[in-house]
């Protein structure tokens, strides 16, 4: 039996990168996948790939920084598939690069809105749906949910916030058959790091390379499945040794 057989899953930020890899892996393990993203073309492409491989998926255009959009994602998932069992709150942006004393206020608001508030809004509407059937939530944090990184105050603050939010929600719903965990990737070869010189990034990882989105998806799948039935409120780094330094 597949790991997510007969499960219904939501993946935000599913148009590319880690989100697409998670959506494809969820589908290959039997889940019906709701792909949500502000990028309509990319999201529909993810759905098309799933369907080409005999999976079941639908696309919902949504801005994760908007509460109403998160509510819509959950409603459409339940309306089409009848329940919600799994979610990966993955949507995120990098934001401007500047020291804290010079950081643009609008940039701060946007990064916090998408990366942190978006995760809260997601859980805010996913959890009530999951209370009926039980479920697992995986929130996409970062290595920067544990350490700082110069010129990225909003991103670092948001990812630290995700780790705290994850722990808090896990405490609240641990006895109600909902598990909530966070994943912390290092620098992964996705569109999010386009424009950054890999010669600078690679040496930051003791394994000597960047991570691949498919590798992160494997960890997300594990935490989303019954194999992780005794794991909640945890933060799992997938970082090529970055945090060991």
Nearest to 73 by CA among 140, 10, 15: 10
- In the residue annotation, 155 being an active-site residue is answered as yes
Residue of 155, 173, 236, 242 marked active site: 155
User: Residue 200 burial by CB count (10 A; 0-12/13-18/19+): exposed, middle or buried?
Assistant: exposed
Question: Among the residues of the chain, which ranges form H helices?
Answer: 17-28, 40-52, 67-81, 105-111, 118-130, 153-173, 198-201, 213-224
Beta bridge partners of 37: 61
Query: Which H or E run includes 10?
Result: strand 8-12
Query: Which H or E run includes 87?
Result: strand 86-89
- Please provide the DSSP assignment of 102-165 as one string: G--HHHHHHHIIIIIIHHHHHHHHHHHHHTTT-EEEEEE--GGGTS--TT-HHHHHHHHHHHHH
Locate tokens 């502000």: which residue? 38
State the catalytic residues: 155
């Amino acid at each position: 039996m597949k790991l997510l057989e007969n499960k219904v899953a939501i993946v935000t930020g599913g148009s590319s990168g880690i989100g697409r890899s998670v959506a494809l892996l969820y589908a290959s393990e039997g889940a019906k996948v709701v792909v949500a993203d502000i990028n309509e073309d990319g999201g529909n492409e993810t759905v098309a790939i799933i369907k080409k491989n005999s999976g079941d998926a639908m696309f919902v255009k949504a801005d994760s920084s908007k509460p109403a959009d998160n509510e819509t994602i959950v409603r459409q998932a339940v309306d089409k598939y009848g329940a919600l069992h799994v979610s990966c709150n993955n949507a995120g942006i990098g934001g401007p690069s500047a020291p804290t004393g010079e950081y643009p206020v609008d940039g701060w608001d946007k990064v916090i809105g998408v990366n942190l508030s978006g995760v809260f809004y997601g859980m805010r509407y996913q959890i009530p749906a999951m209370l009926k059937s039980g479920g697992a939530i995986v929130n996409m944090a970062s290595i920067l949910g544990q350490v700082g990184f110069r010129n990225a105050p909003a991103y670092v603050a948001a990812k630290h916030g995700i780790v705290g939010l994850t722990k808090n929600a896990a405490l609240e719903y641990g006895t109600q058959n909902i598990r909530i965990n966070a994943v912390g990737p290092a620098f992964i070869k996705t569109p999010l790091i386009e424009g950054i010189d890999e010669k600078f990034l690679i040496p930051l990882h003791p394994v000597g390379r960047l991570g691949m989105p498919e590798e992160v998806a494997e960890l997300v799948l594990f935490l989303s499945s019954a194999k992780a039935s005794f794991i909640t409120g945890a933060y799992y780094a997938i970082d090529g040794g970055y945090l060991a330094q």
